[in-house]
Amino acid sequence: MILGFIDYHTLYIIGHIIGTALGVGGAFLGDLIFLASARDGKISATELKFIKLSSLVVWLGLLILVISGVFLFFENEARYLASDKFAAKMFIVAVIFLNGLVFHFFHIKKLEKSVDRFLSELPEVIKYVPLMIASGAISGVSWLFALVLGTFGKVPITFAEFMMAYFLLLGLALGATFLLRKKLIPLKG
* pLDDT tens digit sequence for 35-57: 888 777 788 999 999 999 999 99
Number of neighbours of residue 132 by Cβ within 10 angstroms = 22
Question: Of 14-18, 30-34, 147-151, where does the model show the most confidence?
Answer: 14-18
Q: Compute φ and ψ for 49, nearest 5 degrees.
A: -60, -40
Spell out the long-range contacts of 177-183 with Cβ–Cβ below 8 A and sequence spacing 24 or more.
177/133, 177/134, 177/136, 177/137, 178/130, 178/133, 178/134, 181/129, 181/130, 181/133
**Which is more confidently placed, 1 or 103?**
103
Q: Compute φ and ψ for 6, nearest 5 degrees.
A: -115, 120
* pLDDT tens digit sequence for 146-182: 999 888 878 888 999 999 999 999 999 999 988 877 7
Q: Does residue 9 surpass a pLDDT of 70?
A: yes
**CA Rg, the chain, in Å?**
19
Please give the Cα distance from 111 to 117 (Å, whole number): 10
Sign of the torsion angle spanned by Cα atoms 71, 72, 75, 81? negative
State the average pLDDT for the chain. 89
